Amino acid sequence: MNITDRMAGFSPTLDLRGERAEDALTKTMSFVDDAVMLGMPEVKFVHGRGNGVLRQVVRDYLRSVKAVASVADEHADRGGDGVTLAVLK
């Protein structure tokens, strides 16, 4: 698959609601790799509020990745702490 097709089919938002923590981590790792390769400026992870396990797993991983410049909650109107926004370098 060429890069143009991958860019056309890539969504900057990954929905992880309802996933198990280890499955969410695997998907997050692959998603971040693709986003960096495609040169995306930022990506979003929808994990929901719940008890915070998915949020913690996603944010811990993102903070360990050198290609991630910052990690924060999305604006309150767009999901607040149920969505993580990662700005990529």
Instruction: Give CA–CA dist 84/73, Å, rounded.
Output: 5
Q: Where exactly are the structural domains of the chain? A: 12-88
- The model's pTM: 0.90
* Full pLDDT tens readout for the chain, 89 residues: 577 888 888 999 999 999 999 999 999 999 999 999 999 999 999 999 988 999 999 999 999 999 999 999 998 888 888 999 999 99
CATH of domain 12-88: 3.30.1370.110
Residues whose CB is less than 8 angstroms from the CB of residue 61 and which lie 6 or more positions away in sequence, other chains included = 25, 28, 29, 32
